[in-house]
Amino acid sequence: MPHSTRYSSSPKSLNVGHLMRQCLDVATASLLVNGRTDVSAFDGVKMQLGGFVVASQVIHRQSNLVARRRPRLVLAVAAVASLIVGCSKEAPLALPQAKIPSEPATTEAVATVAGEPITTIDLGRALVRNGAEVSNQYEDVAARRELLDDLIETKLLAVAGRRAGYDKDPEVVAMVDRMVADRYLRELVAANPGEKDVKEEEQRAYYEAHRADFTLPDRVRASIILLRFPLNAQDADKAVTRERAATLLNDAKTQKDLPGSFVSLAREHSQDLLTRDRGGDLGWLPRGARTHRVPSALLDALFKIEGEGNFGPLVETDVGVYVVRLTGLTVGQVKPYEEVAADIRQILLAEKSKRLNDERYRQLSKQFEVKVDEKLLAAVKPPAPPSSGEKPPAFPIGPSAK
């Protein structure tokens, strides 16, 4: 995605939350592209993202700097991902997980900032993120130097951010926790190949047990002519409408074998605006369907007509009287297994994933103590909708905030 589409040209549009989200997106992409899947690699993100918070706030205040160096700032966002890798040695949670290859150590520093290296690996990742594999834009060493300058800029801001304490910002911590949780869950899933497997016999057993779910209902197709009752119609008015409908039904039967005869009658006499121009055609309707345009009495009557091309008796509803003709009928049938096998597989995979996730959370709850203050939870009230021009509060309002 071009950088210009991800950032507004107005400095005022920059805010901490937006830039942090961009940073997290790129950080996750970096780990995936470069084969890093270890949970410990994410532990250092709190320190690194703190610096980026400082960066975004400083840039927001210095609009002239942003206007001059926007392209480099955008590339600098991507560089934060490279700061994540190798920042922690804490062991991951003792649950089943994939074997993660370690990243080769390197002492080749293309640049250093406050003693922290920017390695050839870091620069290589940045080149990949910016499309060097599919274009020749970085063949020129000057272009690579510009990219390195962006990494240096980000490293400077990250160092400043950590020293300013932004790695402890609650919003940063919460965002990192969500990213780590999502990545770790994907790692646990990857560690269990059976989670993506569904046996053929399981699929067929599900198909047999849920045949009704894969059964197509009976369907009819019909054409109608509607004569509406006048507004506030009295009995005498309704009787006139019934007589007109009976005459039309008789005419339609008389002209039954004439091609297009019912279509012509519907276009001339029907007062149903949705079907009149189509010659009265209602389209296909499944048994039991309830729509605003097809009253239940009319649908029931259609399924009682025997034989395509035949007419049914007049159908009267609150709105008027219908002349009806059956034009199509299909009997419900079960879809072949081969036609729904892929759908069944997805259903079973979702069920299996839910069961395994429930088991994972159960294990985690046993390994780590969880306490909930129910009284405090009940006392926390959602923020009221903001009035016009007022910004909503950042967090729910608890008892201690009053």
Tell me the pLDDT band of 390, cut-offs 50, 70 and 90. Answer: low
> Does any domain span residue 369?
no
Task: Kindly report which listed range (8-22, 223-237, 281-295, 320-334) carries the lowest average pLDDT score.
Answer: 8-22
H-helix or E-strand containing 266?
A: helix 261-269
Is pLDDT at 271 greater than 90 in this prediction? yes
Global pTM?
0.44
More confident residue, 105 or 254: 254
Digit-coded pLDDT (tens) for 309-359: 999 999 999 999 999 999 999 888 899 999 999 999 999 999 988 888 888
> Does any domain span residue 147?
yes
pLDDT on residue 310: 93
Q: Are residues 179 and 239 in the same domain?
A: no
> Does any domain span residue 229?
yes
> Does any domain span residue 234?
yes
> Does any domain span residue 101?
yes
Domain stops at, among 191, 206, 240: 191
Q: Are residues 120 and 238 in the same domain?
A: no
Q: Assess contact for 222 and 324: CB atoms under 8 A.
A: yes
> Does any domain span residue 379?
no
Q: Are residues 101 and 136 in the same domain?
A: yes
Sequence-separated (6 or more) residues with CB below 8 Å from residue 99 = none
User: Residue 190: how many CB atoms within 10 A of its CB?
Assistant: 14
Q: Are residues 125 and 256 in the same domain?
A: no
Could you give the percent of the chain with pLDDT greater than 70? 69
Tell me the pLDDT band of 235, cut-offs 50, 70 and 90. Answer: very high
Domain stops at, among 174, 191, 208: 191
The boundaries of the domain holding residue 326 are 218-331
Domain stops at, among 331, 360, 383: 331
Residues 17-46 have a mean pLDDT of 42
Q: Are residues 43 and 155 in the same domain?
A: yes
Q: Are residues 127 and 256 in the same domain?
A: no
Q: Are residues 170 and 250 in the same domain?
A: no
The DSSP-derived string for 225-282 is EEEEPPTT--HHHHHHHHHHHHHHHHHHHHTTTSTTHHHHHHHHH---TTTGGGTTEE
Q: Both ends of the chain: CA-CA distance in Å?
A: 45
Residues 208-222 have a mean pLDDT of 91
Average model confidence (pLDDT) across the chain: 76
Q: Are residues 167 and 226 in the same domain?
A: no
Q: Are residues 43 and 90 in the same domain?
A: yes
Q: Are residues 237 and 154 in the same domain?
A: no
> Does any domain span residue 206?
no
Tell me the pLDDT band of 214, cut-offs 50, 70 and 90. Answer: very high
- Report the C-alpha gap between 333 and 122 in whole angstroms: 60
Is pLDDT at 94 greater than 90 in this prediction? no
pLDDT on residue 287: 87
Total structural domains within the chain: 2
Digit-coded pLDDT (tens) for 154-189: 999 999 998 999 989 999 889 989 998 888 888 877
Look up residue 392 and give its two tokens.
């909503």
pLDDT on residue 96: 47
Q: Are residues 265 and 312 in the same domain?
A: yes
Sequence-separated (6 or more) residues with CB below 8 Å from residue 119 = 106, 108, 109, 110
Q: Are residues 59 and 128 in the same domain?
A: yes
pLDDT on residue 198: 87
pLDDT on residue 388: 65
Is pLDDT at 50 greater than 90 in this prediction? no
> Does any domain span residue 211?
no
Sequence-separated (6 or more) residues with CB below 8 Å from residue 102 = 38
Most confidently modeled of 32-36, 46-50, 222-226, 379-383? 222-226
pLDDT on residue 333: 87
More confident residue, 95 or 401: 95
User: Residue 276: how many CB atoms within 10 A of its CB?
Assistant: 18
Tell me the pLDDT band of 67, cut-offs 50, 70 and 90. Answer: very low
Looking up residue 241, the CATH number of its domain turns out to be 3.10.50.40
pLDDT on residue 55: 43
